[in-house]
Amino acid sequence: MTAIAHPAPFARPSLPRLVRVELRKMTDTRAGVWLLSLIAIAGVTAVGVTLVAGTESDQTLDGLFGICGIAVALLLPVVGLLCVTGEWTQRTALTTFTLVPARGRVVAAKLLAGCGLALTALLVCLVAGVAGNLIAGGSWSLDLARLYGAALYMLIVMVAGLSVGLLLMRSAPAIVTYFVLPAAIGALTQTVHSLRGPAEWFDLGRATAPLGAGEMVAGDWPRLAVATAIWIGVPLALGLLRLRNRELS
């Protein structure tokens, strides 16, 4: 080991490198492996159940892919969420931000890694759909609008999970907020009539529903934009601000 007397010009780690590291961190712990396995099992189980008990219209490439996607999209955002909150719950923030003091870059890397994971998950669902359809022998037609819609949906929920994690910085409250709050809002807006209209703008579940079905019409996009601004834009911005000034120990 040689000690250098004068600082050599070391380049900062590139964003692709940081993204690779974040992807690695999502998969190299026991908890990480468990979670991903659980998600995979959920997806496969959904396909399996459909093959056994589903209707004919479900047992097609489109149908099986869709059901697998729904199952996976349920838990996948937790991976993104924990990727952020885990830094605090597991106290690795100290290491992470000593190695890369540019905290914004770290968050960008986590976002990109999460998106990469989401798209990979989508591909896997497609593969599962293909495999299932080989067994079911159903129709091979795939609604492209639905495919793109599903991709966007996966990305949105993943980033939403990450954003909630960044805002709250602790695993348990973040998970509760991510799952319970939307459900609570949904229930509230269902029962209170006057809120039903506005709900289409701030209920992310409602705003993204047409995406998954591939039935987005012109009027749906502004609603989607507002809902994502609320559920992603705001937590992300606030979370980044908090992170910038936060003390790490």
Partner 1 sequence: MIEVDELTKRYGSQTAVDGVSFRCEPGTVTGFLGPNGAGKSTTLRMISGLTTPTSGTAKVLGTAFQRLPNPGRQVGVLLDASAQHSGRTGREVLRISAEVLGVDRRRVPELLERVGLPPDAARKRVGNYSLGMRQRLGIAQALIGDPSVLILDEPANGLDPEGIVWMRGLLRDFADRAGTVLLSSHLLHEIEAVADNLVVIGDGRIVAQGGKAELLATTGTVVRAPDPDALYDGLAAAGLSPLLNADGTLHVDASPDEVGRVAAGLGITLLELRAADGGGLEQLFLTLTSTEAPA
- Cβ 97 vs Cβ 75: under 8 Å: no
- Mask 77-96, x = binds partner 1 (CB under 8 A)? ---------x---xxxxxx-
CA–CA separation, 231 vs 208, rounded Å?
12
Footprint of partner 1 on 32-61 (CB under 8 A)? 32
Which of these, 246, 245, 236, lies nearest to 108 by C-alpha position? 236
Sign of the CA dihedral with 224 first, then 230, 233, and 236 last: negative
Is residue 169 left, alpha or beta, with left meaning phi > 0 and alpha meaning psi from -120 to 50?
left
Which residues in the 230-249 window bind partner 1 by CB under 8 A?
245, 247-249
Closest separation between CB of residue 155 and partner 1, Å?
25
Please give the Cα distance from 118 to 44 (Å, whole number): 16
- Identify which of residues 90 and 190 has a Cβ nearer to partner 1 in the complex: 90
Residue 105 or 201: the one with the smaller Cβ distance to partner 1 is: 105
Looking up tokens 């973040």 gives 174
Structure tokens at 200: 């289409």
Token pair in block for residue 138: 């159903």
Q: How many residues does the chain have?
A: 249
The token duo for 52 is 């056994």
120 contacts partner 1 (rule: CB under 8 A): no
Number of residues that bind partner 1 (CB under 8 A): 40
Instruction: Give min distance, CB of 201 to partner 1, in A.
Output: 38
| Part of the chain binding partner 1 (CB under 8 A), chosen from 25-33, 147-155, 169-177, 205-213 | 25-33
Is residue 98 near partner 1 by the rule CB under 8 A?
yes
Q: How far is the CB of 244 from partner 1 (least distance, A)?
A: 9
234-245 helix and 103-136 helix, angle to the nearest 10 degrees: 140
The answer to whether 101 contacts partner 1 (rule: CB under 8 A) is yes
In the chain, beta strands by DSSP E:
none
Instruction: Determine which residue in the list 12, 170, 196, 242 makes contact with partner 1, applying CB under 8 A.
Output: 12
Interface region with partner 1, contact rule CB under 8 A, candidates 28-36, 65-73, 201-209, 222-230: 28-36
Q: By the criterion CB under 8 A, which residues form the site for partner 1? A: 1-5, 7-13, 17-18, 20-21, 24-25, 28-32, 86, 90-95, 97-102, 245, 247-249
